[in-house]
């Protein structure tokens, strides 16, 4: 870092790729950005992520003028380290579902209500605690070598700070006590409490059968003698949990490093979302989440009571069937995504009675893991390409609306929705959303909001003040009355989920915050975050 270093950087290490943005901390303007791909698969050598980070930094023009950086990452991935700082086995990613039986076993042993009370979530295969149980039961030799457990963003932060395995050229060596994390990512492990802000070590022991403790902080800033390692631990180390803008330290080059965050929490930061805002992200899977100060408690497991990256809570629902529903429509109709959108827009709300129940890969919200998709209400008159296309778009959005209902049942109120993700660019998705949701929908410009959120956290860590950056909107969509959701409910719910609607809680939120801003009704209007 030079005397002229004034910029901040944000990193999004996602499932598919690593993205880096370099930002003016005063205005939020993205000056440079870079990216590099990640390997496919549900288990990956973390060294591939480290290589991709280096490539993405180079692609973004380097960090010579960067004063601070934060890393956000995909949640739940399990990275196990031995006492030499060496990765024991490939990381198990969030989408590796071999730990499903382990999750069910943990619920049977602890109880769903007990898990929610203590950790804010009910274990599923995605969560780190379930993966630890799987490792214990299926790879005991690997389990016996574990000295520390980290999440993807924790490990990348550790490497960026100059730490690494004994066998590497890391200047600060394998100091496991230097591992750090933040509450938003730790809250996806199933052994951390978003309520208390600390680990529940008894839940960790239940998952892995070993004692654990929180790392104490770096023991040295110089590389130890060749061949040395962290002392034999008396308990497995878990990364030290930092406050929302607490420094993790400095890189060997002198760049300040922020605490980092889980990807959805970083996206909320990047959007400047506050109480009253609900983010709906339509990617490979769909997520619905909202920053709040309310306590979250959902024994059904539909709503995960995660922590946010700003010290609050981030209740989140994940649906398995999102943008891939549109992919399926394109395959079925032998049409491009553009053509599918045009066909859908040529139909009418309700697709003339045709309804898609979009559970192509089962579903998490509602919890129907063995369900399949189906088209209902078909007649000779309505079985047209236009109605099929419309039904697919409506079914996908109604599934997300079910997720929104689950979040709102936790007591949240909603003033506006923020629609992001690749499918938010689809004109049919935007238009049909007006028939599904009953509050205004702001569509921000397409941007790397996870990486931007990490950059915003880096600026906060650097200056001590969370910056207020503008988020440009490309559209504000106003709802219009329709019967689409009622038609969808008649086929999809069949008593599986409570019948609740957004209209139940569309009054102004009782949670007020300086970060609570409404979007303008004009296209391209800025909203401060």
Q: Is 86 annotated as a binding residue?
A: no
Q: Give Dmax (Cα) for the chain.
A: 79
- CA distance linking residue 163 with residue 155, whole number of Å: 9
- CA distance linking residue 308 with residue 296, whole number of Å: 12
- CA distance linking residue 210 with residue 70, whole number of Å: 31
> In the β-sheet with 304-307, what is the strand arrangement from edge to edge?
304-307, 313-319, 286-289, 277-282, 416-420, 441-444, 470-477, 526-528
Q: What's the distance, CA 223 to chain centroid? A: 34
Q: Is 524 annotated as a binding residue?
A: no
Query: By three-state DSSP, how is residue 256 classified?
Result: strand
User: Which residue in 12, 263, 298, 435 is the catalytic one?
Assistant: 263
Radius of gyration of the chain (CA): 23
Residues facing 526 on adjacent strands: 472
What the block records as the tokens of 524 is 């391209």
Question: What one-character-per-residue DSSP string does 341-388 give?
Answer: HHHHHHS-TTGGG-EEE--BTBBTTTTBTT---EEES--TTT-SHHHH
104 torsion bin: left (phi>0), alpha (psi -120 to 50), beta (else): alpha
Closest alpha carbon to 271 in 455, 449, 20, 22: 449
- CA distance linking residue 163 with residue 157, whole number of Å: 9
What the block records as the tokens of 379 is 């007649």
Q: Is 270 exposed, middle or buried (0-12, 13-18, 19+ CB in 10 A)?
A: buried
DSSP state at residue 225: S
- CA distance linking residue 409 with residue 418, whole number of Å: 19
Question: What one-character-per-residue DSSP string does 19-67 give?
Answer: EEEEE-TTT--EEEEEEEE---SSEE-HHHHHHHHHHHHHHTT-STTEE
Cβ(476)–Cβ(439) under 8 Å?
A: no
Is 263 among the catalytic positions?
Answer: yes
Q: How far is CA 4 from CA 1, 184, 380, 488, in A?
A: 8, 32, 70, 58
Closest alpha carbon to 479 in 427, 437, 516: 437
Helix (H) or strand (E) holding 150: strand 148-150
Binding-site positions for substrate read 75-76
Binding-site positions read 75-76
Would you name the residues annotated as active-site residues? 263
């Amino acid at each position: 870092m030079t005397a002229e270093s004034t910029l901040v950087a944000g990193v999004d290490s996602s499932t598919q790729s690593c993205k880096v943005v370099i930002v003016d901390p005063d205005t939020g303007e993205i000056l440079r950005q870079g990216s590099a791909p990640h390997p496919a698969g549900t288990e990956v050598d973390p060294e591939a992520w480290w290589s991709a980070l280096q490539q993405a930094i180079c692609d973004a023009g380097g960090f010579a003028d960067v004063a601070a950086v934060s890393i956000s990452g995909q949640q739940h991935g399990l990275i196990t380290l031995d006492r030499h700082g060496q990765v024991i086995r490939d990381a198990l990613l969030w989408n590796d579902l071999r730990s499903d039986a382990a999750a069910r076993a943990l619920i049977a042993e602890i109880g769903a209500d007990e898990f929610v009370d203590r950790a804010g979530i009910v274990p599923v295969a995605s969560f780190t605690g379930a993966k630890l149980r799987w490792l214990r039961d299926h790879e005991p030799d690997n389990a016996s070598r574990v000295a520390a457990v980290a999440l993807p963003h924790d490990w990348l932060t550790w490497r960026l700070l100059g730490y690494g395995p004994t066998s590497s050229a890391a200047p600060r060596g394998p100091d496991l006590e230097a591992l750090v994390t933040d509450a938003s990512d730790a809250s996806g492990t199933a052994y951390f409490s978003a309520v208390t802000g600390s680990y529940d070590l008894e839940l960790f022991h239940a998952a892995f059968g070993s004692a654990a403790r929180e790392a104490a902080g770096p023991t040295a800033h110089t590389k130890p003698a060749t061949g040395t390692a962290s002392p034999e631990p008396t308990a497995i180390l878990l990364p030290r949990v930092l406050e929302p803008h607490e420094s993790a330290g400095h890189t060997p080059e002198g760049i300040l490093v922020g605490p980092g965050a889980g990807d959805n929490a970083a996206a909320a930061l990047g959007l400047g979302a506050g109480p009253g805002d609900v983010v709906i992200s339509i990617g490979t899977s769909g997520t619905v989440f909202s920053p709040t100060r309310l306590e979250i408690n959902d024994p059904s497991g539909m709503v995960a009571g995660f922590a946010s990256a700003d010290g609050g809570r981030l209740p989140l629902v994940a649906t398995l069937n999102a943008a891939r529903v549109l992919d399926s429509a394109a395959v079925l109709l032998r049409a491009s995504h553009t053509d599918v959108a045009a066909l859908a827009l040529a139909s009418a709300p309700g697709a003339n009675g045709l309804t898609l129940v979009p559970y192509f890969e089962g579903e998490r919200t509602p919890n129907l893991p063995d369900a399949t998709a189906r088209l209902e209400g078909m007649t000779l008159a309505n079985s047209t390409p236009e109605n099929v296309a419309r039904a697919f778009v409506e079914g996908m959005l109604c599934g997300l609306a079910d997720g929104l209902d689950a979040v709102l049942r936790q007591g949240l109120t909603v003033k506006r929705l923020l629609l992001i993700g690749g499918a938010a660019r689809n004109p049919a998705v935007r238009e049909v959303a007006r028939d599904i949701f009953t509050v205004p929908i702001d569509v921000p410009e397409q941007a790397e909001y996870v990486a931007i959120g990490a950059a915003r956290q880096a600026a906060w860590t650097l200056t001590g003040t969370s910056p207020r950056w503008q988020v440009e909107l490309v559209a504000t969509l106003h709802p219009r009355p329709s019967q689409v959701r009622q038609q969808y409910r008649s086929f999809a719910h069949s008593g599986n989920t409570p019948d609740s609607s957004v209209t139940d809680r569309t009054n102004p939120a009782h949670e007020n915050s300086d970060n609570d801003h409404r979007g303008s009704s004009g296209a391209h209007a800025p909203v401060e975050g």
